[in-house]
């Protein structure tokens, strides 16, 4: 199993500002995943972050809006840039277990943009 | 592309009632199937999984059987408790690629 710590757990931000979310895993993993869960909705994958290479973004998400860093095998950050109220969501970090089976999730970051 | 369809909620049941949450999928390959649960204010937790046809995943009294012929993975529990109130997500993964989630089904259990 993997234990994932996400920070901050919640934040209220002014529109036009940026927020960086941190994700720390207790073991080395190749791929880390960032999801968005809008209010009352399912999870949507934003991007996949591999150590040592640029993140791979899903359709509808761009690096300028959601820059990601992956400096080592246990840590990643997601920045939500130039925020608007539409960015109010829960953002979740995830890793896959051995053999890319079970996924483990952080507690999430509940972001409110006012 | 790959997709997961879940029955819409919310599902409201009385304690000790039988639960079924339907889940069907479309996949280009041969997927692994998962049920995740999200309790109020918490992150997602894996509830159960199945990796090949006819596999039955089970945990905490919940069960789901991987039915390739009907492309389904319905979640069942014989007797629900108030503590089972949560959002349940069906998901698939093909060849270890990204997880694709269903829309989620809210379950409310009344005492």
pLDDT of residue A2: 84
Which burial class, exposed, middle or buried, applies to B75 when counting CB atoms under 10 A from its CB (0-12, 13-18, 19+)? buried
pLDDT score for B99 = 87
Low-confidence residues of chain A: pLDDT under 70: 97-101
Distance in angstroms (rounded) separating the CA atoms of residues A72 and B64: 37
In this complex, which of B34, B46, B104 lies closest to A42 when CB atoms are compared? B104
pLDDT of residue B1: 83
pLDDT of the residue at B16: 97
A100 inside 8 A of chain B by CB: yes
Computed over every residue of chain B, the mean pLDDT equals 93
B96, pLDDT greater than 80: no
DSSP E strand boundaries for A1-114? 4-7, 10-13, 19-25, 31-37, 43-50, 56-57, 68-72, 75-80, 89-96, 103-105, 109-113
pLDDT at A6: 94
Spatial separation of the C-alpha atoms in residues A70 and B53, rounded to whole Å: 36
Could A45 and B103 be called an inter-chain contact, meaning their C-beta atoms sit closer than 8 Å? Answer: no
C-alpha–C-alpha distance, residues B25 and B74, integer Å: 10
> What's the pLDDT tens digit per position in B80-89?
999 999 999 9
- The rounded distance, in Å, linking the Cα atoms of A105 and B47 is 13
Tokens encoding A34: 């960032």
**In this predicted structure, what is the pLDDT of residue A101?**
67
Cα R_g (chain A), whole angstroms: 13
Residue B15, pLDDT > 90, answer: yes
pLDDT value, residue B61: 97
CA distance A42 to B102: 7
For Cα atoms B77, B2, B37, give the angle at the middle one, nearest 5 degrees: 30
CB contact under 8 A, B104 and A41: yes
Question: Are the CB atoms for A53 and A63 separated by under 8 Å?
Answer: no
Residues of B in contact with A108 (CB under 8 A): 43
Closest CA relative to residue A8, chosen from A79, A87, A81, A114: A79
What is the rounded distance in angstroms from the CA atom of residue A48 to the CA atom of residue A22?
A: 15
Of B43, B99, B102, the CB nearest to A107: B43
Looking at chain B, which residue has its C-alpha nearest residue A106? Answer: B43
Contact with chain B for residue A108, Cβ under 8 A: yes
pLDDT tens, B24-64?
999 988 899 999 999 987 888 999 999 999 999 999 999 99
């Amino acid at each position: 199993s993997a234990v994932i710590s996400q920070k901050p757990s919640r934040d209220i931000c002014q529109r036009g500002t940026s927020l960086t979310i941190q994700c720390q895993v207790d073991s080395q993993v190749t791929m880390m995943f960032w999801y968005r869960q809008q209010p009352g909705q399912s999870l949507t994958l934003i991007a996949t972050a591999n150590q040592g290479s640029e993140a791979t973004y899903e359709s509808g998400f761009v690096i300028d809006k959601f820059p990601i860093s992956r400096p080592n095998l246990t840590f990643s950050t997601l920045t939500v840039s130039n925020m608007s109220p539409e960015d109010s969501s829960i953002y979740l970090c995830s890793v896959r277990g051995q053999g890319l089976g079970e996924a483990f999730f952080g507690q999430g970051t509940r972001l409110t943009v006012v | 592309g790959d997709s997961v369809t879940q029955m819409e909620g919310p599902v409201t049941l009385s304690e000790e009632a039988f639960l079924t949450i339907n889940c069907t999928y479309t996949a280009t390959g041969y997927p692994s199937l998962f049920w995740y649960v999200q309790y109020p204010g918490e992150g997602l937790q894996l509830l159960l999984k199945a990796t090949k046809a006819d596999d039955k995943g089970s945990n905490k009294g919940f069960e789901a059987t991987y039915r390739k012929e009907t492309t389904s993975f319905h979640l069942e529990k014989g007797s629900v408790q108030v503590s089972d109130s949560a959002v349940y997500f069906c998901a698939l993964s093909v060849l270890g690629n990204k997880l694709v989630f269903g829309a989620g089904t809210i379950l409310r259990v009344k005492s």
